């Protein structure tokens, strides 16, 4: 590619470190919460809708899962998230008051385009996309859109597209909440200030690269890994597992920590590293007891925890401290170390990081 790598070894590493900039570019010019940035029909559509249906594939699908937590918590709008290749072929119940939202880096993913077409054919005409390519088919085929300004993403494993999707989804959540009269002026001001401070907070997390790199050789010697998270960080656990499997070829699974005892605990032994996403939130105590379940079976824990969580390194427990809890926007910070862990594990294994075997950047055929 014509884009210079600069001080980086791979495009994926470069793109991980571009995230603070990509995020501020995506938020550029957005001073306060307004529907107009999503299109001239957005105000009316956001007022009318009773539900949101998110459709996407891969990493974009996980961005959608995070948005479900935000939409229901902040805008009080019910949200379903569907894998495009499932939605397009199943018999579903169409609803005219639903916002159909596709999320796509490329805007050309065949299954997502077909799922959008399918929703429209069922009479669902309130359509929107969050997309990184302004000239793409997806943008042309939807009434509302928001363009992420991640810039060109070359690494097949998506990183900066994901975090800019999340920022856009958060803006959309606030805009819908505002149209529904569910966003107080104080909340708006506080959450927008948090958004603007995010790039700086991301820099602080990215400084953990060397600490994370030290963990990578352990992962490179294993065949499996489990990723645990709860609540809005459950989709982040899924994304961490996806990154690891895509580029390092380890078998990795993301699980909601509370489901551990309903299956994956049977797999835990000294050969199973368990990555835990541990924000300092109301689910922390529950998560800590899940971690004890892992330790009791000799699983090796790798914990990314916020300041103030009181989780300390001990035999079998490796800890990297994140900044203080970042509230609703915390998943945007917690995904960064997981991207770096996958990246350095892949480098340690010597895989083709930017072009993993069998995968394509954009899947334009079924």
Q: Which residues bind ligand G6P (CB under 6 A)?
A: 57-60, 104-106, 109, 112, 156-158, 359, 361-363
Residues constituting the chain: 366
Alpha helix ranges (H) inside 156-233 = 160-179, 185-206, 209-220
Positions marked active-site: 361
| Beta bridge partners of residue 274, listed in sequence order | 226, 301
The DSSP letter of residue 314 is B
Looking at the Cβ atoms of 159 and 330, the one nearer to ligand G6P is 159
Residue 138 beta carbon to ligand G6P: minimum distance, rounded to whole angstroms: 8
Looking at the Cβ atoms of 233 and 243, the one nearer to ligand G6P is 243
Of residues 311, 321, 157, 312, the one with CA closest to residue 241: 157
Looking at the Cβ atoms of 60 and 248, the one nearer to ligand G6P is 60
> Which residue, judged by CB position, is nearest to ligand G6P in the bound state?
58
Residue 17 beta carbon to ligand G6P: minimum distance, rounded to whole angstroms: 18
Buried b (16+ CB within 10 A) or exposed e, 208-238: bbeebbebbeebbebebbbbbbbbbbbbbbb
Looking at the Cβ atoms of 22 and 192, the one nearer to ligand G6P is 22
Q: Is 175 exposed, middle or buried (0-12, 13-18, 19+ CB in 10 A)?
A: buried
Residue 348 beta carbon to ligand G6P: minimum distance, rounded to whole angstroms: 21
Residue 286 beta carbon to ligand G6P: minimum distance, rounded to whole angstroms: 30
3-state secondary structure 39-55: CCCHHHHHHHCCEEEEE
Residue 59 beta carbon to ligand G6P: minimum distance, rounded to whole angstroms: 4
Looking at the Cβ atoms of 59 and 163, the one nearer to ligand G6P is 59
Token pair, residue 229, equals 């998270």
């Amino acid at each position: 590619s014509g884009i210079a790598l600069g001080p980086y070894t791979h495009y994926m590493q470069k793109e991980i470190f571009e995230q603070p900039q990509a995020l501020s570019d995506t938020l550029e010019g957005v001073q306060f919460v307004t529907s107009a940035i999503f299109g001239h029909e957005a105000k009316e559509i956001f007022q009318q809708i009773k539900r949101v249906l998110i459709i996407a594939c891969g990493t974009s699908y996980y961005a959608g899962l995070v948005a479900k937590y935000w939409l229901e918590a902040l805008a009080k709008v019910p949200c379903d998230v569907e894998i495009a290749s499932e939605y397009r072929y199943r018999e579903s119940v169409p609803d005219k008051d639903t916002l159909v939202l596709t999320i796509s880096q490329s805007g050309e993913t065949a299954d997502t385009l077909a799922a959008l077409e399918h929703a429209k054919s069922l009479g669902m005409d309130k359509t929107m996309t969050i997309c990184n390519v302004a000239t793409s088919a997806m943008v042309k085929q939807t009434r509302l859109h928001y363009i992420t300004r991640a810039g060109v993403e070359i690494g097949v494993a998506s990183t900066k597209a994901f975090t800019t999707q999340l920022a856009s989804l958060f803006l959309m959540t606030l805009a819908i909440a505002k149209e529904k009269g569910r966003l107080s002026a104080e909340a708006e001001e506080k959450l927008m200030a948090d958004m603007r401070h995010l790039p700086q907070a991301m820099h602080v997390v990215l400084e953990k690269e060397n600490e994370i790199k030290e963990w990578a050789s352990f992962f490179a010697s294993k065949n499996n890994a489990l990723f645990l998270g709860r609540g809005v960080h459950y989709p982040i656990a899924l994304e961490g597992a996806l990154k690891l499997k895509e580029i390092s070829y380890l078998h990795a699974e993301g699980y909601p920590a509370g489901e551990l005892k309903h299956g994956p605990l049977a797999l835990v032994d000294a050969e199973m590293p368990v990555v835990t996403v541990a924000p300092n939130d109301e689910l922390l105590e529950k998560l800590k007891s899940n971690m004890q379940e892992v330790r009791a079976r000799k699983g090796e824990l790798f914990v990314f925890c916020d300041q103030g969580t009181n989780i300390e390194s001990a035999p079998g427990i490796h800890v990297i401290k994140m900044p203080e809890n970042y509230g609703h926007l915390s998943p945007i910070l917690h995904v960064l170390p997981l991207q770096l862990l996958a990246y350095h594990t892949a480098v340690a294994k010597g895989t083709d990081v930017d072009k993993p075997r069998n995968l394509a950047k954009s899947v334009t055929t079924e």
